[in-house]
Amino acid sequence: MFEALGEERHFHLKRLTRGLMVAGTALTFALAAPLAPAHATEEADVTRGEAAYEASCASCHAAPARIIARVEGADDAEKTEALEAFLPDHYAEDDQDRADIIAYMLSL
């Protein structure tokens, strides 16, 4: 009797958990949607930069931290300047991708 009750509860809990997960996913999309269109006017985003780095750079540069360490510049502003000059002709033509990738590299 107790065991049956326990199983029933467990079943409900599982359904509840699944329901919450579905609701959570829907909410995530609802919140993300207004931010989705990617053009260069958006603020640079580290998470997007990591994905862009994986897609455009990682095949040749496995260790982004090593690359950014070698870029000339005493601080982030100078390194950003150097990368903004170099990357348009080096696999990051897209302004938004480039801004995101630079933000990601500087976050390492």
Q: Looking at 39, 59, 62, 89, which residue binds ligand HEC (CB under 6 A)?
A: 59
87 binds ligand HEC (CB under 6 A): yes
Q: Are 100 and 48 in contact (CB under 8 A)?
A: yes
Q: How far is the CB of 78 from ligand HEC (least distance, A)?
A: 13
Q: How many CB atoms lie within 10 A of CB 106?
A: 18
Q: Looking at 12, 15, 18, 90, which residue binds ligand HEC (CB under 6 A)?
A: 90
**Residue number of the CB atom closest to ligand HEC:** 57
70 binds ligand HEC (CB under 6 A): yes
Q: What does the longest C-alpha to C-alpha distance in the chain come to?
A: 73
Q: What is the CA radius of gyration of the chain?
A: 22
Q: Looking at 44, 48, 50, 56, which residue binds ligand HEC (CB under 6 A)?
A: 56
61 binds ligand HEC (CB under 6 A): yes
Q: Are 96 and 88 in contact (CB under 8 A)?
A: no
Q: Take residue 105 and report the two structure tokens written for it.
A: 């590299």
Q: Take residue 6 and report the two structure tokens written for it.
A: 């326990």
User: Contact residues for ligand HEC (CB under 6 A)?
Assistant: 56-57, 59-61, 67, 70-71, 87, 90-92, 101
